Amino acid sequence: MKPLHVCITGAAGQIGQIVAFKVANGEIFGKSQLINLALLDIEPAFPLLEALQMELEECLFSSLKSITITTDLKVAFEKCQYAILIGAKPRGKNMQRKDLIEANSKIFEEQGRAINEYADRRIKVLVVGNPANTNCLICLKNAPRIRNSNFCAMTRLDLNRAKYQIALKANRNVSTLRNVIIWGNHSSTQFPDVSQAYFINEDDEIDNENDEEIRVEEVIKDKTWIQKDFIELIQQRGTTVINARGLSSAASAAQAICDHMRDWIQGTPSNSITSFGVISDGSYGIPRDIVYSFPVVCFNSEWQIIKNLKIEEFTKKKMEESAKELIEEKETAFRFLNY
Ligand SMILES: NC(=O)C1=CN([C@@H]2O[C@H](COP(=O)(O)OP(=O)(O)OC[C@H]3O[C@@H](n4cnc5c(N)ncnc54)[C@H](O)[C@@H]3O)[C@@H](O)[C@H]2O)C=CC1
Ligand SMILES: O=C([O-])CC(=O)C(=O)O
């Protein structure tokens, strides 16, 4: 079996360090898939990359064929088939993610260009660095040789957070919960939506056609909680973690990266949908040319937006608010980059 070329940017950072071990241990591509791992960071972080390399090597991961540590975009992205773009400045207390546009948009412009020039034409790119949706848009605009659908922004952490809170409130096992959706921006305007979500029977955790379903809105009858407290809790979760630990989420973000990539590559489990930030094709009236989180399914290593869900007025308004913010972010970023 041929080894895969995988690149992690910002690998010396708090998320990057955790993801590197997970990738090396087969959490995305499986334990039998060999990996050539490229770890990119900036010069001041190079000693941390050296230490990371030593530790990875000494874990004796059977799927890790080689490790390259580098500060050079060409070396990092040469022949790259999967890129996880984390390297960027994180926000601190009292900041919104969009306050990072000036600090981070150039990074994604440069990396988009390098991916365009050096990577495998079929590369799949997950953008994590904030503001993730707008950085993803910048990246794909700078990589015209690569299909737009090969770029995603990560909203999986929001989805995992939402699923946890719903299962907790319902006092049910999270593994029996299906089809929660994150719409929009990875920001405080995102809309975590349970209108399509349901629980399957506890005894029926292995999906099959005969799963008995019960809608979340029939289990959690507290409409105020669903339409207000729950939404705000998920929209503000990143901030809550920053306020508690002084730094943004790391381990849960690393896990969400693996969950996103695994679904993308190996396919979503049957009867399950997930949410990806992807280039809008105009579905649900969302303007084109922004990266927006939609419900998707994946098969054959491709995602597809779930169409024709019935959208209520409440949902539609929330979806539009987030689209409006993404258009504003795009305008700010493009002005800054002189596009
Ligand atoms: N989409 C999401 O759900 C989430 C996104 N994030 C975002 O991920 C990013 C990284 O977060 P952390 O790992 O906590 O930050 P961190 O500060 O611990 O690590 C960032 C790493 O990126 C490196 N870096 C900076 N500029 C770079 C460049 N031009 N090229 C390559 N590497 C570069 C830094 O040297 C550092 O090692 C932040 O923007 C954060 O806001 C964090 C959590 C969740
Ligand atoms: O909140 C932040 O800045 C980091 C992040 O994206 C998250 O935890 O969802």
How does pLDDT run across 263-319, given as a tens digit for each residue?
999 999 988 999 999 999 999 999 999 999 999 999 999 999 999 999 999 999 999
Between CA 146 and CA 180 the distance in angstroms is 30
pLDDT, residue 306, reads 98
| Of the candidates 268, 303, 305, 265, the residue with the CA atom closest to the CA atom of residue 283 | 305
Q: CB atoms < 10 A from the CB of 223, how many?
A: 9
Residue 208 confidence class, pLDDT cut points 50, 70, 90: low
Q: How far apart are the first and last CA of the chain?
A: 43
Report the C-alpha gap between 242 and 313 in whole angstroms: 33
| pLDDT(60) > 60 | yes
CA of 239 to the centre of ligand 2 (A): 7
15 is in an annotated binding site: yes
**What pLDDT was estimated at residue 203?**
65
Q: Is the pLDDT at 32 greater than 80, yes or no?
A: yes
pLDDT averaged over the chain?
Answer: 96
Identify which ligand lies nearest to the alpha carbon of 85.
1
pLDDT at 205 (0 to 100) = 52
Residues of the chain with CATH 3.90.110.10: 156-330
Q: Determine whether 186 is an active site residue.
A: yes
- What is the per-residue pLDDT for 206? 52
The percent of residues in the chain predicted with pLDDT above 90, rounded, is 95
Residue 185 has pLDDT above 70, yes or no: yes
Which atom of ligand 1 approaches the CA of 128 most closely?
Answer: 1
All CATH 3.40.50.720 domain ranges of the chain, comma separated, are 4-153
Amino acid 212: pLDDT: 81
Least confident of 10-24, 88-102, 174-188, 220-234: 88-102
Question: What pLDDT digit, counting tens, does each position of 131-159 carry?
Answer: 999 999 999 999 999 999 999 999 999 99
Atom number in ligand 2 closest to CA 90: 3
C-alpha dihedral sign at 209, 214, 215, 216: negative
Q: What is the CATH number of domain 4-153?
A: 3.40.50.720
Choosing from 5, 98, 124, 186, which is the catalytic residue?
A: 186
Residues whose beta carbon lies within 6 Å of some atom of ligand 2:
90-91, 97, 130, 157, 238, 241-242, 248-249
Determine if ligand 1 sits within 6 Å of the CB of residue 131: no
Name the residue of 8, 17, 42, 75 whose CB sits within 8 Å of the most ligand 1 atoms, as the mutation to test its pocket.
42
Nearest to 45 by CA among 77, 93, 8: 8
* Structure-token pair, residue 338: 């002189």
Those residues with Cβ within 8 angstroms of residue 298's Cβ, 6 or more apart along the chain or in another chain:
263, 264, 265, 267, 268, 274, 304
Is residue 13 annotated as involved in ligand binding? Answer: yes
Out of 3.30.420.40, 2.60.130.10, 3.90.110.10, 3.40.640.10, select the CATH number for domain 156-330. 3.90.110.10
Give, for ligand 2, the residue of 18, 85, 89, 91 to mutate: max count of ligand atoms closer than 8 Å to Cβ: 91
- Reply yes or no on whether the pLDDT at 161 is more than 60: yes
Q: Of ligand 2's atoms, which has the minimum distance to the CA of residue 132?
A: 6
Q: Which two tokens stand for residue 14?
A: 């708090």
Tell me which residue has its CA closest to atom 26 in ligand 1.
88
Residue 209 has what pLDDT?
56
